[in-house]
């Protein structure tokens, strides 16, 4: 790392197999504290797979096997001593398709803090919900209808609700798996702005298909191709002066 | 594809194309007609079935009653100890008043048989419930016995030659005189629902069978619902995919296809012989039925669990819900409408099931509704079976009426299932 940025999460020699098929080959990548790191690359390059290793979402796939070291604040997250539920409370996730629970807007946000016992009473919970919705930039739109179902919102609003839900548990790291791919440009712009604001308090890793988005929101960029990490570095560096030919081909639109 | 084939235009006009189009349209029309034909046939047959059942059973929904004034004379009525009165004597006195010539003719006995055999108990209950003295009269609407009921309903026809008729001309004339006096009425037959079984069709009802079926279904539900949901949840959410679980899965599907009488034999051999549970009890009936309902509930529950979108599970896992929280907070509530629908359909099947109940003795002749799940009882389908086997004319109509009542319950249950599916199902 060029500047003095503390490493929040680190992957060393990460390999992932889906059954016989290897999806990731010896990936070494650091996620810096309070930075936005974007993972780019063509479809099927393993960027989402890597992201899902960071909060062990791959555990839910029976045939998936992860080797190598993945650490959060220096602690191996695949260690037996780590409770995966606590890990996911510390490393939140926003998914490609907005997926609010079919419950009220309030319940969507309150669910995480409630199951982790983060609040003592109703007033405190109300505060957490309000703050989370405010941080996610959707409070003004929903404050009068918190009891209505989250599924009744528009796509962009749903995604911001999902972000509010993810940050309600006050995670240290926020993983975003193509959070804007199902949204229109206006909703995308709102979310990108939001990502930039969230950086103050959270470490963010975002998978994106849009190179413009990576350039706009991230400080660091990692380029994946065919399961290998080809190049990583400061976003500006990667987009203006890529060292690897494949990276150059991809960002100029020749492969992908 | 080569460039040449891309640029060549297909001939969509001209005779050949026209022929192809017409053949295609004809094929579409034929397919639709086959479909309409099949549905018409199915609905038609169902209509014929229900029509014949209604035709046969509708008379059982009314019952001929005769209004009789019973005089309480000193000879028959014991005012000191009313319970020890000679009730048959009271009836004889009443009929003698209506038919004075019968006393001289010596056929008073025949006249008392116009009323149901249980009239003495109706009179006793009415008198004991009130405060009567010698010389009072008690007026009661008493069910007519089966032959007169059938005569009144036109099932026994007057133009049948006397020697082939169940009632001779004298008996018909006696009944007609009652009709002329306005003593005969034909109200709705509440007894069909509130009486238990009886040897006499005019007072036989379904209450024992309804209560028995209710208890059996309750036992069936209490066993198969929790066990079915837990089994399905384990198989769907926790079980590793290996040979053993594959085998279990195949066998659950096979279980759904096992003939019901086999479950009855199993119940007989295991529940009655080995465990020594009481014969004819709704408890055992419910246990046997739950064996049949289990596969239905398991299959329906698994389908409902599968239908919950993976994005909801991911969302819950993403905020750090544990496996059991994902299942109990999100997956099961979302699958509940499907589970309930499957359960109700399974229970509806169980309600109509006869064979297994026959084998564990739920086709006994029992004249009072069961007081609990351990009492001997019948169920609706077995009651229909018993009545279908009985020779009296009145049971013919009652068999059909029983079928209609059973169908009514089945339709209600299926309607509830449809309502739940429509109402509670969430869409994403």
Q: Whole-number mean pLDDT of chain A?
A: 90
Mutate which of B312, B313, B315 to test chain A, going by most A C-beta atoms within 10 A?
B315
Is B118 domain-assigned?
Answer: yes
Sheet containing strand A203-207, strands side by side:
A75-76, A64-72, A7-18, A21-32, A228-234, A220-225, A36-40, A203-207, A173-177, A91-94
Is B398 domain-assigned?
Answer: yes
Contacts of B240 in chain A (CB under 8 A): 62
Is B130 domain-assigned?
Answer: yes
Contact B318 A88 (CB under 8 A): yes
- By Cβ distance, the residue of A87, A95, A112 closest to B314 is A95
Q: Would you state the pLDDT for residue B84?
A: 86
Looking at the complex, report in whole angstroms how far the Cα of residue B319 sits from the nearest Cα belonging to chain A. Answer: 6
Same domain? For B123 and B175 the reply is yes
Q: Would you state the pLDDT for residue B213?
A: 95
Domain count, chain B: 2
- Phi first, then psi, for residue A124 (nearest 5°) are -65, -40
Q: Is the pLDDT score of A2 beyond 50?
A: no
Q: Which residue has the tokens 């010596």?
A: B106
CB pairs under 8 A between A and B: 68
Contacts of B424 in chain A (CB under 8 A): none
Same domain? For B147 and B212 the reply is no
Instruction: Return the H-helix or E-strand segment holding B149.
Output: helix B146-153
Same domain? For B113 and B170 the reply is yes
Same domain? For B405 and B337 the reply is yes
Instruction: Return the H-helix or E-strand segment holding A22.
Output: strand A21-32
Is B403 domain-assigned?
Answer: yes
Is B43 domain-assigned?
Answer: no
Q: Would you state the pLDDT for residue A118?
A: 86
Contact B317 A162 (CB under 8 A): no
Is B318 domain-assigned?
Answer: yes
Contacts of B334 in chain A (CB under 8 A): 102
Q: Would you state the pLDDT for residue B1?
A: 45
Among B186, B216, B247, give the residue marking a domain's end. Answer: B186
User: What range defines the domain where residue B174 resides?
Assistant: 64-186
Same domain? For B252 and B307 the reply is yes
User: Looking at chain B from residue 316 to 375, which residues have their Cβ under 8 Å from any Cβ of chain A?
Assistant: 316-322, 325, 329-330, 334
Same domain? For B144 and B274 the reply is no
Q: Compute the distance between CA of residue B7 and CA of residue B3 in angstroms, rounded to an integer.
A: 6
Contact B322 A169 (CB under 8 A): no
Task: Give me the mean pLDDT over the A123-144 stretch.
Answer: 92
Contacts of B309 in chain A (CB under 8 A): 99
Contact A99 B320 (CB under 8 A): no
Contact B426 A102 (CB under 8 A): yes
Domains of chain A and any CATH numbers: 7-100+173-251 (3.40.50.300)
Same domain? For B138 and B235 the reply is no
> Would you call B241 an interface residue with chain A, using a CB distance cutoff of 8 Å?
yes
Instruction: Return the H-helix or E-strand segment holding B55.
Output: helix B15-57
Question: Which residue on chain B is closest to A55 by alpha carbon?
Answer: B318
Same domain? For B270 and B374 the reply is yes
Contact A88 B319 (CB under 8 A): yes
Looking at the complex, report in whole angstroms how far the Cα of residue B298 sits from the nearest Cα belonging to chain A. Answer: 23
- Ordered DSSP codes for B259-315: -HHHHHHHIIIIIIIIS-PPTT-HHHHHHHHHHHHHHHHHHHHHHHHHHS-HHHHHH
Contacts of A151 in chain B (CB under 8 A): 426, 428
Q: Compute the distance between CA of residue A194 and CA of residue A36 in angstroms, rounded to an integer.
A: 12
Q: Compute the distance between CA of residue B72 and CA of residue B81 in angstroms, rounded to an integer.
A: 13
Contact A85 B428 (CB under 8 A): no
CA B201 from chain centre, in angstroms, equals 18
Same domain? For B175 and B312 the reply is no
Same domain? For B182 and B255 the reply is no
b vs e for A206-242, b when ≥16 Cβ sit within 10 Å of the residue's Cβ?
Answer: bbbbbbebbbbbbbbbbbbbebebbbbbbbeebbeeb
Q: Compute the distance between CA of residue B397 and CA of residue B387 in angstroms, rounded to an integer.
A: 9
Is B391 domain-assigned?
Answer: yes
Is B28 domain-assigned?
Answer: no
Per-residue pLDDT of chain B (428 residues; tens, 9 = 90+): 445 555 666 767 788 888 999 999 999 999 999 999 999 999 999 999 999 999 989 999 999 999 999 999 888 888 888 888 899 899 999 999 899 888 887 788 889 999 999 999 999 999 888 888 888 889 999 999 999 999 999 888 989 998 888 898 989 999 999 999 999 999 999 999 999 999 999 999 999 999 999 999 999 999 999 999 999 999 998 888 889 989 998 999 898 889 999 999 999 999 999 999 999 999 999 999 999 999 999 999 999 999 999 999 999 999 989 999 999 999 999 999 899 999 999 999 999 999 999 999 999 999 999 999 999 999 999 999 999 999 888 899 999 999 999 999 999 999 998 888 888 766 54
Same domain? For B162 and B215 the reply is no
- By Cβ distance, the residue of A86, A151, A165 closest to B319 is A165
Q: Which residues of A touch B (CB under 8 A)?
A: 55, 57, 60, 62, 85-89, 92-95, 97, 99-102, 111-112, 115-116, 151, 162, 165-166, 168-169
Q: Where are the beta strands (DSSP E) in A128-238?
A: 173-177, 203-207, 220-225, 228-234
Q: Which residues pair with A69 in a beta bridge?
A: A12
Q: What CATH number should be reported for the domain holding residue B282?
A: 1.10.3720.10
In this structure, are residues B338 and B301 in contact, taking their beta carbons and an 8 Å threshold? yes
Same domain? For B285 and B330 the reply is yes
* Residues B100, B104, B110, B114, Cα dihedral to 10°: 0
- Phi first, then psi, for residue A37 (nearest 5°) are -110, 120
Among B130, B156, B186, give the residue marking a domain's end. Answer: B186
- The pLDDT tens digits of the residues spanning A54-81 come to 999 988 888 899 999 999 998 999 988 8
Q: Compute the distance between CA of residue B131 and CA of residue B126 in angstroms, rounded to an integer.
A: 10
Q: Compute the distance between CA of residue A64 and CA of residue A58 in angstroms, rounded to an integer.
A: 6
Among B133, B151, B186, give the residue marking a domain's end. Answer: B186
Write the CB contacts of A69 (distance below 8 Å, at least 6 apart in sequence): A10, A11, A12, A13, A14, A76, A78
């Amino acid at each position: 790392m060029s500047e003095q940025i503390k490493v929040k999460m680190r992957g060393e020699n990460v390999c992932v197999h889906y059954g016989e098929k290897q999806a990731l080959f010896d990936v070494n990548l650091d996620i810096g504290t309070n930075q936005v790191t974007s993972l780019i690359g063509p479809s099927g390059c393993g960027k989402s797979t890597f992201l899902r290793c960071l909060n062990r979402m791959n555990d839910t796939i029976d045939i998936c096997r992860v080797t190598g070291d993945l650490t959060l604040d220096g602690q191996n997250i695949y260690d037996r001593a780590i409770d995966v539920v606590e890990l996911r409370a510390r490393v939140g996730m926003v998914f490609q398709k907005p997926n609010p629970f079919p419950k009220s807007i309030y319940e969507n946000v309150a669910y995480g803090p409630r199951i982790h016992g983060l609040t003592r009473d109703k007033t405190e919970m109300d505060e957490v919900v309000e703050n989370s919705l405010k941080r996610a930039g959707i409070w003004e739109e929903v404050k009068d209808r918190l009891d209505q179902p989250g599924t009744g919102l528009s796509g962009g609003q749903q995604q911001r609700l999902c972000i509010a839900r993810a940050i309600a548990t006050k995670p240290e790291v926020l993983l975003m798996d193509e959070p804007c791919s199902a949204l229109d440009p206006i909703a995308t712009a709102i979310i990108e702005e939001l990502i930039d604001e969230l950086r103050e308090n959270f470490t963010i890793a975002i998978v994106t298909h849009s190179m413009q988005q990576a350039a706009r929101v991230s400080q660091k960029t990692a380029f994946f191709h065919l399961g290998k990490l080809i190049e990583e570095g400061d976003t500006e560096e990667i987009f203006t002066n890529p060292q690897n030919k494949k990276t150059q081909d991809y960002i100029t639109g020749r492969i992908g | 594809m080569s460039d040449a084939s891309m640029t060549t235009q297909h001939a969509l006009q001209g005779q050949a194309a026209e022929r192809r189009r017409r053949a295609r349209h004809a094929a579409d029309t034929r397919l639709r007609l086959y479909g309409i034909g099949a549905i018409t046939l199915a609905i038609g047959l169902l209509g014929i079935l229900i029509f014949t059942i209604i035709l046969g059973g509708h008379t059982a929904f009314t019952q001929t009653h005769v209004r009789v004034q019973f005089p309480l004379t000193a000879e028959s009525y014991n005012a000191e100890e009313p319970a020890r009165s000679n009730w048959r004597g009271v009836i004889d006195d009443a009929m003698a008043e209506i038919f004075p010539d019968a006393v001289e003719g010596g056929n008073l006995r025949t006249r008392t048989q116009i009323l149901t055999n249980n009239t003495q108990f109706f009179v006793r209950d009415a008198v004991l419930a009130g405060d009567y003295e010698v010389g009072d009269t008690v007026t009661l609407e008493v069910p007519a016995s089966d032959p007169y009921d059938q005569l009144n309903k036109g099932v026994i026809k007057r133009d049948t030659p006397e020697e082939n008729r169940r009632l001779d001309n004298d008996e018909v004339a006696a009944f007609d005189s009652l009709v002329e006096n306005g003593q005969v009425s034909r109200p709705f037959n509440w007894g069909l629902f509130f009486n238990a079984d009886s040897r006499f069709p005019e007072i036989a009802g379904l209450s024992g069978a309804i209560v028995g079926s209710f208890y059996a279904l309750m036992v069936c539900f209490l066993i198969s619902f929790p066990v079915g949901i837990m089994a399905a949840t384990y198989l769907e959410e926790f079980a590793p995919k290996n040979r053993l679980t594959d085998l279990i899965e195949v066998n659950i599907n096979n279980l759904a296809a096992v003939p019901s009488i086999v479950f009855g034999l199993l119940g007989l051999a295991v529940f009655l012989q080995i465990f020594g549970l009481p014969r004819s009890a709704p408890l055992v009936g419910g246990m046997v039925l739950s064996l049949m309902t289990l596969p239905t509930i398991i299959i329906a529950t698994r389908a409902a669990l599968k239908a919950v979108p993976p994005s909801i599970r991911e969302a819950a896992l993403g905020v750090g819900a544990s496996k059991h929280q994902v299942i109990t907070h999100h997956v099961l509530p979302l699958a509940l409408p499907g589970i309930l629908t499957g359960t109700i359909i399974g229970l509806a099947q169980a309600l109509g099931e006869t064979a297994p109940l026959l084998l564990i003795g739920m086709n006994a002749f029992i004249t009072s509704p069961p007081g609990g799940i351990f009492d001997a009882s019948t169920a609706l389908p077995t009651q229909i079976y018993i009545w279908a086997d009985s020779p009296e004319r009145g049971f013919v109509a009652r068999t059909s009426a029983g079928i209609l009542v059973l169908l009514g319950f089945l339709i209600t249950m299926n309607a509830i299932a449809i309502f739940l599916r429509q109402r509670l199902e969430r869409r994403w």
